[in-house]
Amino acid sequence: MPGGVLTSSIATAPHRLPLLGHLVSMLRDPAGFVASLPASGDLVRIGMGPITAVMVCDPQLTQQVLRHDRVFDKGGPVFDRAREAIGDGLGTCPHSRHRRLRRLMQPAFHPSRIAEYASVMSQRIIEIAESWHDGQIVDVRAQMKTLTLQVTTATLFAHSVPESSLHRIFRDVDTVVDGVMRRAIMPASLLRLPILGNRAYWPAITRLRAVIGAVITERRTADVHPADLLSAVVDARDTDGGGLSDNEIVDQILTLFVAGTETTASALQWALYLLDEHPDLAARLRVELDTVLAGRPARYDDLPHLPLTGRIITETLRVRSPFWLATRTVTEDTELGGHRLAKGTIVAYSPYLLHHRADLYPDPDRFDPDRWDPAVATPAQRSALIPFADGARKCIGDTFAVTEACLALATIAARWELHAVPGQDTSAALSSILRPRTLRMRVTTRHVPARVRTS
């Protein structure tokens, strides 16, 4: 193992293979693999291909890793591959650079701006929902990906990216997201060979950086800046009056593209699928939506009045957490859970793993949004829910993502009923983001009861 010496008392997860480690188990069932690990202990050795990592299975120890981000810095195979793709974005940069970048990026995600972005979200959501017709079979994965990429593009760039470039951007983002996890578990000797998608990977990164760089150059020279997220980042100034360089801005914007679009798209795919699997819950949701929306699309001001909608998104983020595996690197000799970890040790954690611990969430595989009713949810459950990580490195766009997901679910479910086409493989695919392999659903027009229609 490169760097670090692991205490021998840490157990190794079962079924490790020479050279491959636990790669076969990860490829076959990534979510099931990580969910099985707590049975081996609070800390467990896993083989990510030829690399050994220590998986943290305990919620308190996971919080220790997340909140001590100087000692447990961003690194390891997952973040190293992400950093080569998107540079030093907020999600990938080392601790030494994070605090300054966070200060400069934070104004772009101020609560007052989320309300402004929500109007753009609603417009794009309506366009998607109105493009379907009764009885159509919809590729939900493609539609939700298109939706979130359009929202991200519109809130980031206003109208600075030509429509003709969007489809190419969408394909390139897909290529990068799929490539990061595959390359994280691939032997280093294979990373630059023209195999397993490598040939498409680097050109996709080059094109994305070129498109974003061109928009930044144009924005720097413009007399008037539109009120979008990019302008907020370009105009941001630190206490010394300095701002972000063009290259730093490219890193941040590319991070938002790659991470932000996929997490929300994944959550929406799973939410629509799980509602189809739970018709009683879907009926309750429709009552809430008909009562509050009365047949119209959802707006930002509606969200406080849609508690079940919010709980459905929260429970979706628990039971199908988009980020299923992340890694950190120990920067100095330290102790975790009574075990000594040497500098250079790779530590992994998994939101999916914590979210499926039966001692925290009884019957953890059951989709039950009512567990998040404020009257019954426990502090331990709330603390262990980390779909966007936690501590100083918690995702800066968490509120943005949840707002978008709630608005989209409310607007779509108010207008359509969606039912999965039988016979498809909806199991989770191996990618940086946990998402269905395929998800095609038939859409049926809903008719709002006359008693709740607007006059």
Q: Among candidates 75, 45, 41, 35, which has minimal Cα distance to 58?
A: 41
How many Å apart are CA 321 and CA 101, to the nearest integer?
A: 26
Q: Are 25 and 33 in contact (CB under 8 A)?
A: yes
- Structure confidence at residue 183 (pLDDT): 77
How many Å apart are CA 455 and CA 452, to the nearest integer?
A: 9
Residues forming a β-bridge with 48 = 21, 51
How many Å apart are CA 145 and CA 327, to the nearest integer?
A: 25
- Structure confidence at residue 195 (pLDDT): 63
CA angle 450, 300, 150 (to 5 degrees): 105
pLDDT for 109-124, tens place per residue?
988 899 999 999 999 9
Q: Are 303 and 7 in contact (CB under 8 A)?
A: no
Q: Are strands 51-56 and 334-336 parallel, antiparallel or unpaired?
A: unpaired
Contacts of 249 (CB under 8 A, 6+ apart): 212, 216, 230, 233, 234
Q: Are 252 and 208 in contact (CB under 8 A)?
A: no
Please identify every stretch of the chain with a pLDDT value under 50, giving residue numbers as ranges. 1-2, 453-455
Burial profile 352-374: b = 16 or more Cβ within 10 angstroms, e = fewer: bbbbbbeebbeebeebbbebbee
In this structure, is the dihedral angle defined by the CA atoms of residues 334, 336, 342 and 346, taken in order, positive or negative? negative
How many Å apart are CA 435 and CA 197, to the nearest integer?
A: 19
pLDDT for 327-381, tens place per residue?
999 999 999 999 999 999 999 999 999 999 999 999 999 999 999 999 999 999 9
> Nearest 5°: phi and psi at 245?
-75, 165
| Claim: this prediction has a pTM higher than 0.85 | yes
